Amino acid sequence: MPSAEINKVREYWDRQGSADVRPSIEEMRLYDDYWATLTGEPGQVDYIDATVGGVPALWAIPKGAVWDRVIVCFHGGGYMMGSRYSHRKMYGHLAKAVGCRALLVDYRLTPEHAHPAQVDDAVASYRGLLEQGIRPAHIVFSGDSAGGGLAIGAQIRARHSGLPLPSGSMAMSAWTDMTLSGRSYDSNRSKDSVFRREMVGGLVHMLLGAEPDLQNPYVSPICADLRGLPPIYLQVGGDEGLLDDSVMFAERANAAGVDVKLDVFPDMLHSFQMAAGRAPEADDAVSRLGTWARPLLGLAPHR
């Protein structure tokens, strides 16, 4: 049975899904702060504002972190909300679980900035890290929701730019498919009051404009040539409208020969890892990410 603490995630989404009035962009962005209240403060994590590769960012640095290993984190928010601050605690937990530094990238948002601003910023921040001397094999990408798609799309883009790839990526509730082909939009519609085709379609419009290329591989990595990508670990909630964005992506990545791992968490909703530090389900998920990433980064299995 879901914990009382994880039910706060459901309450949060249900409150948004049941709003009578469509909120303005400004109001939606204020929700970021409420989103962040789902997460417990990790503690013993320092937060340093920075600019990396010309992109605003936030270092989340656990005490005792291995300095030359880095998780590059792309926050969620449908490409139009969220920030390095809304997600600092959640990625702070992840950084603690891995035992290294995390860099939260504040890529530009829609509707002020359409595609490819987001993937440009993602790659620029990665390039900036490489220029700081961090080895690609010591970097892992991560992201939730839109940021989960970006964690994969940015690799496609980085490869097209001739950059070496990171050691792997970890995506939570990734949005990988702008064509909205997932059947889970239908099968989970009664359970997920927010991530429905009509809402997500609005996000597509803001990102890609009036004549969208829905199969653009940088924002729809499910449509990309995935061969040669490093290992990918996908986590997704069983009750999500976006469930199939992970399930179908895992199938295609697997068919392309990618080392892919998928965990579907029963009864969970979108980005439930935001309840890290509060809910056992979220802490378990974050712990699994840490266990997966440490050997990938050449670290001992346990901190």
Q: Are 130 and 163 in contact (CB under 8 A)?
A: yes
**Would you count residue 85 as binding a copy of itself (CB under 8 A)?**
yes
Q: How many residues bind a copy of itself (CB under 8 A)?
A: 16
Handedness of CA 141, 86, 94, 245 (dihedral sign): negative
DSSP string, 124-139: HHHHHHHHTT--GGGE
Least separation in angstroms between residue 74's CB and a copy of itself is 18
**Distance of closest approach, residue 5 Cβ to a copy of itself, in angstroms:** 10
Shortest spacing between CB 87 and a copy of itself, in angstroms: 12
- Which residue, 131, 155, 127, is CA-closest to 141? 155
Nearer Cβ to a copy of itself, position 43 or 295? 43
Selected binder of a copy of itself within 11, 44, 54, 225 (CB under 8 A): 44
Strands 260-265 and 139-144: unpaired
Task: Examine residue 46 and tell whether it contacts a copy of itself (CB under 8 A).
Answer: yes
Our finding on whether 4 is near a copy of itself (CB under 8 A) is no
Distance CA 159, CA 70 (A): 19
23 is a contact residue toward a copy of itself (CB under 8 A): no
CA separation (Å) from 298 to 63, 98, 229, 301? 19, 11, 18, 9
Cβ atoms of 5 and 275 closer than 8 Å = yes
Task: Give the active site residue among 240, 246, 271, 281.
Answer: 240
34 part of the interface to a copy of itself, by CB under 8 A: yes
Structure tokens that stand for 203 in this block: 């996000």
284 lies in the binding site for a copy of itself (CB under 8 A): no
- Indicate the residue among 35 and 79 with the shorter CB distance to a copy of itself: 35
User: Where in the sequence numbering do the catalytic residues fall?
Assistant: 145, 240
Q: Can you give the binding site for a copy of itself, defined by CB under 8 A? A: 30, 33-34, 36-37, 41, 43-49, 63, 83, 85
